Amino acid sequence: MIHTKKKEGETLSAFVYRFNKKVMQAGVVKETKKRQFTTRGANKGKRRIAALYRLKKQEDLARLKKYGHQ
């Protein structure tokens, strides 16, 4: 959480500028934009299919490497 206090004799626009600068440096805006739209994770079936696909690709690459085609 960001805490800022208005300095004595500081104008409102200078205070707002200083506050915005602290917010940007803290990454609050970036984090908020990242969390704005959430995506659902892949279900168990899709994860399984993806894992099987990765295994098959690894086996294919290993076989090609063994025979010197890569």
What are the sequence ranges of the domains in the chain?
A: 12-66
Residue labelled with tokens 């609050």: 28
Distance CA 49, CA 56 (A): 11
Query: What CA dihedral angle connects 61, 64, 68 and 70, to 10 degrees?
Result: -50
pLDDT of 40-63, one tens digit each? 888 999 999 999 999 999 999 999
**Whole-structure pTM value:** 0.48
The average confidence (pLDDT) of the chain is 92
At 38, the pLDDT band (50, 70, 90 cuts) reads: confident
Distance CA 29, CA 51 (A): 35
